[in-house]
Amino acid sequence: MELRHIRYFLTLAEELHFGRAAQRLYISQPPLSRQIKELEEEIGAQLFTRDNKRVALTNAGKYFRDECQTILDQLSNAQVKTTRIHEALSGEINIGYISAIDKHKLALLVQDIQQTFPYLQTKLYELSTERQTIALINGKLDIGILRAPITAPQLEVEHLYHDKFCLAYAQDFILPSTFSELHGTPFITYNADYAPWYHHAALSYCSRMGFSPTIRHECNNISSILELVHHNIGISVVPQSVRKQYQHLAINFLALDNIAITTEIILAYPRERQHPAFTALQQFTLKHVKDETI
């Protein structure tokens, strides 16, 4: 049995007239009659009753019609999905990330994408957690690497890693003998509206150190914060994972292990709309990005 036999049969089942069915199929009537007869012989059942006046489906023919229509519908859906997957894997994938993520881990992810999906173009967008959440919900991003917590029910969330904090200060800044003396020192951090949870965590870290920060400068990415620290414009509290990434700057990083405040980095993606390459990318992401607390 070939696919054309099914198409011929379904057309005749709709028309119940050999002449009209043959016309729709752009063939003459004798070949159509021959194809239907071959189909009936192969199945071992009479699908149509025929006389000089009418053509009708038998009960077996009605059952076969319904089953064949289901098969063709499934085949059509498979074709559409296959085309979409092909186009997606030779198209693009949009990945959002926060500025404070470990860029080495991000580079490993992109490297894996290039090796596994050589025709897939990776587009990276540095965005805040709030803007990533909106973009993921609206279909503008396929994957987001952002900071917990997020409360969007439309998104699936997976833990990647915890990042501890540390005090960042310029190498020519004289650190006082007690941290309480840092009160009044210009402090640089994220804008509270741009990164509210991070802002709160950084202030909590300062409180645990024993001083209340005097916020003088607010930025929207970690690079700007550290550049200002580098030029001794102020001090800051930053994730420990950024230390290796900014060794070229004249900055000291002081980590206090007795302060257990951490920030959680998570992977988020739409619950109902996943990129065709996501399953494989998810495994790569968890392999390279997920680890123990830094």
Q: Which domains does the chain have, with CATH numbers?
A: 3-87 (1.10.10.10), 93-156+271-289 (3.40.190.10), 162-262 (3.40.190.290)
pLDDT bracket for residue 294 (50, 70, 90): very low
Top-confidence residue, 276 or 124: 124
Residue 276 has what pLDDT? 67
- On the question of pLDDT at 1 being above 80, the answer is no
Average pLDDT over residues 108-122: 80
Q: Across all residues in the chain, what is the average pLDDT?
A: 87
Q: Which residue has the higher pLDDT, 276 or 107?
A: 107
Q: Per-residue pLDDT for 208 more than 50?
A: yes
- pLDDT given for residue 113 in this prediction: 79
pLDDT tens by residue, 265-284: 998 999 877 776 666 666 65
Provide the pLDDT for residue 285.
60
Decide if pLDDT at 91 tops 70. Answer: yes
Q: Can you give the pLDDT at residue 108? A: 81
Percent over 90 (pLDDT), the chain: 44
The DSSP H or E segment spanning 253 is: strand 251-254
Averaged pLDDT for residues 70-78: 86
